[in-house]
């Protein structure tokens, strides 16, 4: 697929928001106008080869505050019987196939009472990769570290990049590297980050054993699993403040609609 030129993309964003300006939730509601760009091959070709024409569309929808009950920790399940993305595959790009692989395990996880799943690397099942639809972040508050996986199978998140910048401003050392599953025990806070939610606090992550009764499960708990950690809260509040114009946007992240 060709890369969409930044000026073309920003012009499309400007026009679609301007044309739907009456659907932008008012300031103070906690809502937003969610944008979803989509690039697809539209040329008259059915063979298994790149298209000779592509179409860019941007869909918008007004959404409410993601956390209706407030920012609260969720419990995660480590997915061991499915892989989200293969090494040297397309796990690092936002394609539909990356979401399809999570549909069945996500449904089964929720049936067990876990609203979010965490995937390990497909090759060895020994290092942390990412949550179902979000990047993984571990906080070591004692050593003031913000740790997130570095892997060719992980989808880079602009929200994660923004959080890394803010974390450094807050005095944390940012580390992008392999994270062995055993290192979970050293994290005081864990969060999943993504565009719509910004951050989802994770109170615990469980790895089921071979015993289907769950008696041999391994559970990692982070801080007070019932409360949002102070660093997670601070990072979330600062991102939202920049988005709402309550804090100076010194990094130029916001885009003004003309």
**Which residues are catalytically annotated?**
94
Place of tokens 């929808």: 61
**Rounded to whole angstroms, how far apart are CA atoms 118 and 12?**
34
Asked whether 42 and 53 are in contact (CB, 8 A), the reply is yes
177 DSSP assignment = E
Asked whether 153 and 214 are in contact (CB, 8 A), the reply is no
**Rounded to whole angstroms, how far apart are CA atoms 212 and 112?**
12
Place of tokens 């089921």: 208
Structure tokens at 27: 């300031």
**Rounded to whole angstroms, how far apart are CA atoms 230 and 83?**
32
Structure tokens at 19: 């044309």
Instruction: State residue 101 phi and psi, 5-degree precision.
Output: -65, -20
Place of tokens 């659907």: 23
């Amino acid at each position: 697929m060709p890369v969409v030129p930044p000026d073309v993309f920003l012009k499309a964003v400007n026009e679609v928001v301007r044309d739907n300006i009456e659907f932008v939730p008012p300031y103070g509601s906690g809502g937003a106008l969610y944008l979803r760009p989509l690039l697809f091959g539209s040329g008259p070709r059915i063979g298994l080869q790149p298209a000779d024409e592509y179409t860019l569309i941007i869909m918008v929808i007004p959404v409410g505050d993601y956390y209706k009950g407030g920012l609260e920790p969720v419990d995660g399940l480590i997915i061991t019987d499915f892989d989200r993305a293969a090494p040297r595959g397309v796990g690092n790009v936002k394609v539909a196939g990356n979401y399809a692989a999570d549909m069945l395990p996500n449904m089964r996880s929720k049936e067990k009472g876990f609203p979010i799943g965490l995937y390990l690397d497909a090759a060895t099942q020994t290092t942390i990769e990412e949550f179902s639809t979000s990047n993984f972040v571990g906080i070591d508050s004692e050593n003031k570290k913000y740790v997130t996986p570095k892997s060719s199978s992980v989808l880079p998140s602009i929200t994660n990049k923004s959080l890394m910048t803010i974390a450094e401003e807050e005095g944390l050392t940012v580390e992008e590297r392999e994270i062995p599953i055993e290192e979970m025990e050293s994290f005081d806070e864990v969060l999943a980050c993504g565009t719509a939610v910004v951050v989802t606090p994770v109170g615990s992550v469980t790895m089921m054993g071979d015993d289907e009764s769950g008696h041999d499960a391994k559970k990692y708990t982070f801080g007070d699993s019932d409360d949002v950690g102070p660093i997670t809260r601070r990072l979330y509040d600062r991102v939202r403040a920049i988005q709402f114009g309550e804090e100076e946007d010194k990094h130029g992240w916001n885009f003004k609609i003309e």
